[in-house]
């Protein structure tokens, strides 16, 4: 079978079979109304499914109220089951499968004020949240870990009851579980700190708990960093240990990303943010704008290159047997074929599909062999826009859809 044909063959992950190997990556959409999915979010992911992806990932469903990073973010709870069911049904009607990315911000709470110190792997000054008054974070104890693990399980059960096919536990980019994995934010002296294996212990416990609770009906995916991309951060050797631990814990698929929101966003995206577009969108929201501007201090100039995580991801591919999704700079059909040739099981994209939700169908038909996305990153600021994320090369979203619940 050619690598082209393999791209369009079904993929079994846990109890779920995807119609092909293309996955829409979880990336914040900013499409939330009253802490629930909006009609805009439903339209967005229905378009992904209609456009041919095997699995579309709804981004950042917080497992608790205090786990939300942004103001406009879904908090997964039974009260919003009608909205979640509407979202899942819309994707299924187009022949696609749907996953919810579940996570907890920990100390990375940037747009909300949290009562008391935010949770993290260790005590310290909260550089991500101090502008919102979240001055400090505190080290989680065993009672905290038990509570948070239970919140992940409850969120996964809500997604299961809504008809979702998978959950993706976010363990990268500087959110709570990554705050354990990364030595940038974990210098604990107990069994949850020190070695790379100890640092992934709590995230692996969370995944095992979720798997035991819902794994008979849903795929359990984890998104991890191949590396943090900055000195003192997690290396690809740490990424290998993380992948091996999660494989042992029962992960059905690992999505390989990289970078941290504060320390290395440029590494995550493979290119720099467009700060002019960011400032335009955030006009009037000076606190968030100031925080984002400060995060760019000392950032290297990075020119986008295709498949920018490939060498890191190949190292992890050689070390584990669990199915892996390649993410990072897939811009063409040839890039996707390269991922298949290197032994990856799925191709994971966000920006090219935000630019063109029908890209997978165009790849299949031969109408297109390359995405029109320029990886300019000007879509990124629109997670803060009243209409939600869109590609600036396309017509803007209808903001009215973002003021209605998905079940309306």
pLDDT band at 225, cuts 50/70/90? Answer: very high
- Say what the pLDDT of residue 284 is: 66
Whole-model pTM: value is: 0.95
pLDDT at 187 over 80: yes
Q: What are phi and psi of 364, to 5 degrees?
A: -65, -45
Q: How far is CA 398 from CA 394, 401, 402, in A?
A: 12, 6, 7
Are 285 and 384 in contact, with CB atoms under 8 Å apart?
A: yes
| Within-domain flag for 408 | no
Task: Choose the catalytic residue: 33, 175, 192, 326.
Answer: 175
pLDDT at 229 over 90: yes
Residue 68: burial class (beta carbons within 10 Å; 0-12, 13-18, 19+): buried
CA dist 317 and 20 (Å) reads: 20
Domain that holds residue 120: 3-403
| Within-domain flag for 273 | yes
| Within-domain flag for 211 | yes
Most confident of 63-77, 275-289, 368-382: 368-382
| Within-domain flag for 91 | yes
Residues in the chain: 408
Note the helical H segments in 94-232: 142-161, 176-181, 196-199, 201-214
CA dist 255 and 350 (Å) reads: 12
CA dist 270 and 328 (Å) reads: 7
First-residue to last-residue Cα distance in the chain: 45
Give the tens place of pLDDT for each residue, 94-141.
999 999 999 999 988 877 777 778 899 998 887 776 666 777 888 999
33 has catalytic annotation: no
CA dist 279 and 297 (Å) reads: 15
- Say what the pLDDT of residue 384 is: 87
Of 388, 382, 356, 379, give the one whose Cα is nearest residue 369. Answer: 356
- Say what the pLDDT of residue 148 is: 98
- Computed from CA positions of residues 171, 162, 73, 30, in that sequence, does the dihedral angle turn out positive or negative? positive
Neighbour tally for 2: CB within 10 Å:
9
CA dist 22 and 369 (Å) reads: 14
Q: What CATH number does residue 78 fall under?
A: 3.20.20.70
Give the tens place of pLDDT for each residue, 236-293.
999 999 999 999 999 999 999 999 998 999 999 999 988 888 888 877 665 666 666 6
| Within-domain flag for 18 | yes
- Say what the pLDDT of residue 288 is: 65
Characterize 152-173 residue by residue with b for buried, 16 or more Cβ atoms within 10 angstroms of its Cβ, and e for exposed: bbbbbbbbbebbbbbbbbbbbb
For residue 13, give the 3-state DSSP assignment: strand
User: Rounded to 5 degrees, what angle do the CA atoms 252, 55, 18 make?
Assistant: 65
| Within-domain flag for 153 | yes
To the nearest whole number, what is the mean pLDDT of the chain?
Answer: 93
Are 272 and 301 in contact, with CB atoms under 8 Å apart?
A: yes
DSSP state of 177: H
Per residue, the 3-state secondary structure of 347-408, as one string, reads EEECHHHHHCCCHHHHHHHCCCCECCCCCCCCCHHHHHCCCCCCCCCCCCCCHHHHHCECCC
Tokens for 174?
């500087």
Instruction: Count the domains in the chain.
Output: 1
In this structure, are strands 97-103 and 166-170 parallel, antiparallel, or unpaired?
parallel
- Say what the pLDDT of residue 4 is: 75
| Within-domain flag for 317 | yes
Note the helical H segments in 185-328: 196-199, 201-214, 236-249, 265-269, 275-281, 286-295, 310-319
> Whose structure tokens read 């063409």?
332
pLDDT at 376 over 70: yes
């Amino acid at each position: 079978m050619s690598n082209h044909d393999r791209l369009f063959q079904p993929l079994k992950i846990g109890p779920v079979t995807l119609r092909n190997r293309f996955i829409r990556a979880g990336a914040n959409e900013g499409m939330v109304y009253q802490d629930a999915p909006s009609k805009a979010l439903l339209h967005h992911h229905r378009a992904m499914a209609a456009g041919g992806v095997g699995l579309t990932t709804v981004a950042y469903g917080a497992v608790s109220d205090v786990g939300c990073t942004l103001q406009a973010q879904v908090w997964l709870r039974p009260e919003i089951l009608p909205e979640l069911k509407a979202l899942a049904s819309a994707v299924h009607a187009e022949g696609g499968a749907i996953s919810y990315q579940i996570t907890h911000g920990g100390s990375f709470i940037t747009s909300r004020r949290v009562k008391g110190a935010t949770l993290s792997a260790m005590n310290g000054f909260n550089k991500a949240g101090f502008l919102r008054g979240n001055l400090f974070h505190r080290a989680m104890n065993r009672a905290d870990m038990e509570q948070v693990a239970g919140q992940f399980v409850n969120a996964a059960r809500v997604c299961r009851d809504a008809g979702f096919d998978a959950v993706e536990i976010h363990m990268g980019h500087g959110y709570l579980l990554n705050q354990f994995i990364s030595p940038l934010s974990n210098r604990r002296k107990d069994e949850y700190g020190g070695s790379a294996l100890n640092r992934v212990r709590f995230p692996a416990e969370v995944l095992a708990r979720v798997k035991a609770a819902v794994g008979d009906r849903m795929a359990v995916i984890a998104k991890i960093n191949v590396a943090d991309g900055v000195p003192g951060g997690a290396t690809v050797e740490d990424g290998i240990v993380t992948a091996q631990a999660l494989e042992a814990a029962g992960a059905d698929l690992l999505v390989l990303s990289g970078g941290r929101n504060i320390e290395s966003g440029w590494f995550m995206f493979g290119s720099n943010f467009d700060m002019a577009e960011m400032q335009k969108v955030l006009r009037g929201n000076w606190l968030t704008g100031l925080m984002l501007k400060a995060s760019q201090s000392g950032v290297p100039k990075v020119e986008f290159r295709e498949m920018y995580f490939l060498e890191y991801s190949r190292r992890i591919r050689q070390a584990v047997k669990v199915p892996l999704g390649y993410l990072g700079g897939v811009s063409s059909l040839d890039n996707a074929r390269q991922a298949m040739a290197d032994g990856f099981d799925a191709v994971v994209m966000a920006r090219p599909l935000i630019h063109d939700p029908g890209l997978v169908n165009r790849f299949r038909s031969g109408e297109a062999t390359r995405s029109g996305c320029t990886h300019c990153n000007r879509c990124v600021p629109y997670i803060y826009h009243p209409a939600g994320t869109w590609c600036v090369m396309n017509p803007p979203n209808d903001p009215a859809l973002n003021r209605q619940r998905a079940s309306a």
